[in-house]
């Protein structure tokens, strides 16, 4: 199921298949890279990051949009913090479009928008994973959605569309400081975020060969 033959341009520190619907986290040192692989395609990966030494210094969607002058994330995008410091940079991207407007799914929002009582969401995954690091609900900010396609029309209309990611697409995120990375492999089955059928993703941490 995993693309075990994928070439990693450096020394692999961790290589994990994150099962469908599960969270994952890692402490990543400055200069190291997190590669997120959409193994089967059309699978949203909800993402947050924090300065390892000062968790109040965290990813900020609005600053990232302002300082990149764009609502979409792709190769070359810097992820900025709430204090306008660089957190991570997207140094490779085979997909081409990632969202940071739409936030994450949750039991609560699904209750409102789908009138369904789902048992789990990315909000719950974030809380579960953050708890391993002594953190919780108050630490959750508006997140990145890697591999999720959210087109915005001229009149401002916005919706999740079918994902553009193909099997094996990946993003490489280089840490600009020591960071804590938290992801939720999105469990949503009621919209296109996970292609209506959540699938595993792969998370690799590596030290680039030229460092
Ligand atoms: Zn989700």
Domains of the chain by residue range: 19-208
Distance in Å, CA 148 to ligand 1 centroid: 10
Q: Looking only at Cα atoms, what is the longest distance across the chain?
A: 51
Rounded-to-integer distance, Cα 20 and Cα 43, Å? 9
Residues of the chain falling short of pLDDT 50: 1-3
Give me ligand 1 centre to Cα 209, in Å. 33
How much distance in Å is there from the Cα of 47 to the middle of ligand 1? 10
| Predicted TM-score (pTM) of this structure | 0.96
What's the token pair of residue 66?
A: 């302002």
Instruction: Give the model's pLDDT for residue 1.
Output: 43
Ligand 1 centroid from CA 106, angstroms: 7
- 122 CA to centre of ligand 1 in angstroms: 4
Provide CB contacts within 8 A for 8, sequence distance 6+. 15, 35, 204, 206
Spatial CB neighbours of 94, under 8 Å, sequence gap ≥ 6: 166, 168, 169, 170, 171
- At residue 211, the pLDDT reads 57
CA of 49 to the centre of ligand 1 (A): 16
**Do 172 and 8 touch, CB atoms closer than 8 A?**
no
pLDDT of residue 210: 76
Token couple for 55: 């968790």
Distance 208 CA to ligand 1 centre (A): 30
CA of 159 to the centre of ligand 1 (A): 14
152-209 pLDDT per residue, tens: 999 999 999 999 999 999 999 999 999 999 999 999 999 999 999 999 999 999 999 9
Looking at residue 4, what is its pLDDT? 55
pLDDT score, position 160: 94
Q: Tell me how far the alpha carbon of residue 144 lies from the centroid of ligand 1, in angstroms.
A: 11
| pLDDT reported for residue 97 | 85
| Both structure tokens of 128 | 């579960």
């Amino acid at each position: 199921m995993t693309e075990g033959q994928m070439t990693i341009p450096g020394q692999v520190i961790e290589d994990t298949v994150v099962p469908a619907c599960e969270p994952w986290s890692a402490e990543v040192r400055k200069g190291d890279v997190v590669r997120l692989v959409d193994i089967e395609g059309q699978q949203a990966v909800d993402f947050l990051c924090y300065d390892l030494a000062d968790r109040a210094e965290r990813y900020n969607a609005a600053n990232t949009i302002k300082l990149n002058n764009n609502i979409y994330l792709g190769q070359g995008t810097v992820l900025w913090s709430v204090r306008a410091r660089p957190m991570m940079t997207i140094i490779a991207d085979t997909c081409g479009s990632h969202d940071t407007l739409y936030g994450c799914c949750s039991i609560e929002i699904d209750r409102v928008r789908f009138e369904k009582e789902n048992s789990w969401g990315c909000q719950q995954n974030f809380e579960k994973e953050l708890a391993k690091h002594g953190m919780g609900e108050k630490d959750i900010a508006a997140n990145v959605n890697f591999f999720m396609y959210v087109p915005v029309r001229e009149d401002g209309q916005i919706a999740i569309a079918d994902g553009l990611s193909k099997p094996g697409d990946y993003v490489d995120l280089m840490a600009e400081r020591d960071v804590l990375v938290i992801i939720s492999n999105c469990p949503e089955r009621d919209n296109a975020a996970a292609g209506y059928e959540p699938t595993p993703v792969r998370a690799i941490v590596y030290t680039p060969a030229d460092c």
